């Protein structure tokens, strides 16, 4: 086996094994992802992880269908990445980054598999041009994702501009409430949420009501407690379809507000952020029951 094929096989095997194992653990609730995960995307990653192991086997056996299989999975990842960035709202940046990494790795694998054909002048130009287009498209998508103001993240930090505004005017909310304009009712009625989600929201409100303030570290600790409860809600959520989609519309801004509380740097900002979170939690009952 050629060295470049061996490297490609190792990359595909490791990527497939990680996707299959981690995806299954998250799907079964054994492992906590730490951010909101779309179940459809999770299933896709598991299936593609299994297919990746099959492709690794094809590379090992020097199958004639190796190149077409690698190209198929590469195009599949790029297509899903484009769909997530352009047509799906409220996808965590972690999911976008993971798909970008997969697309780049598969592009590298395709390059390694086709390395021998580059020795032929007529295929060399065509091959490199094709790879340039694929990698260029991935780079453009990566750039658009990073600059998409509607993209939510479960690990985003307050930027310096936000901190400066906060110091100048502590009463300015640190997180937007545009979700109110995006969320919808179930034909005029509230969505039926699973009991675990509603219980989690209730526990978060109870935690807020029992908080007495005191110091910056106390507000940060409160943020950590709320984050744990939020992770439990995400882990135990069994909602699907439109109700699940609308829950995400409500949940993502809450994630931002909790993170802001975890990173608060003054008691004044802590008070404001606790108030924002309390209002947001109360808003849950206007759309879910």
pLDDT at 88: 61
pLDDT for res 180: 83
pLDDT confidence tier of residue 87, bands split at 50, 70 and 90: low
pLDDT confidence of residue 244: 86
Q: What is the pTM of this model?
A: 0.51
Q: What percent of the chain has pLDDT over 90?
A: 26
> What is the three-state SS of the chain?
CCHHHHHHHHHHHHHHHHHHHHHHHHHCCCCCCCCCCCHHHHHHHHHHHHHHHHHHHHHHCCCCCHHHHHHHHHHHHHHHHHHHHHHCCCCCHHHHHHHHHHHHHHHHHHHHHCHHHHHCHHHHHHHHHHHHHHHHHHHHHHHHHHCCCCCCCCCCCCCHHHHHHHHHCCCCCCCCCCHHHHCCCECCECECCCHHHHHHHHHHHHHHHCCCCCCHHHHHHHHHHHHHHHHHHHHHCCCCHHHHHHHHHHHHHHHHHHHHHHCCCCHHHHHHHHHHHHHHHHHHCCCEC
pLDDT digits (tens, 9 = 90+) for 4-28: 889 989 999 999 999 999 888 887 8
> Of 284 and 180, which is predicted with more confidence?
284
């Amino acid at each position: 086996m050629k060295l470049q094929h061996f490297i490609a096989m190792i990359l595909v095997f490791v990527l497939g094994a990680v996707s299959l194992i981690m995806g299954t653990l998250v799907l079964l609730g054994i492992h906590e992802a730490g951010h909101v995960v779309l179940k459809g995307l999770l299933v896709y990653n598991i299936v593609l992880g299994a297919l990746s192991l099959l492709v690794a086997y094809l590379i090992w056996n020097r199958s004639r269908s190796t190149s077409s299989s690698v190209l198929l999975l590469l195009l599949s990842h790029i297509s899903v990445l484009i769909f997530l960035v352009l047509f799906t709202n409220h996808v965590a940046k972690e999911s976008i980054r993971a798909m970008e990494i997969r697309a780049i790795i598969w592009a590298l694998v395709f390059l390694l598999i086709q390395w021998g054909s580059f020795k032929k002048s007529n295929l060399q130009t065509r091959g490199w041009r094709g790879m340039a287009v694929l990698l260029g498209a991935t780079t453009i998508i990566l750039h658009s994702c990073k600059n998409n103001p509607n993209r939510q993240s479960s690990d985003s930090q307050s930027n310096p501009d936000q901190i400066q505004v906060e110091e100048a005017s502590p009463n300015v909310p640190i997180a937007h409430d545009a979700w109110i304009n995006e969320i919808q009712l179930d034909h005029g009625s509230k969505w039926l949420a699973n009991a675990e989600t509603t219980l989690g929201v209730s526990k978060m409100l109870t935690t807020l009501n029992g908080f007495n303030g005191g110091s910056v570290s106390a507000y940060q600790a409160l943020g950590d407690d709320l984050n744990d409860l939020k992770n439990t809600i995400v882990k135990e959520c069994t909602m699907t379809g439109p109700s699940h989609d609308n829950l995400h519309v409500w949940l993502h801004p809450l994630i931002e507000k909790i993170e802001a509380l975890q990173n608060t740097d003054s008691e004044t900002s802590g008070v404001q952020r606790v108030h924002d979170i309390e209002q947001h939690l109360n808003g849950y009952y206007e759309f879910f029951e």
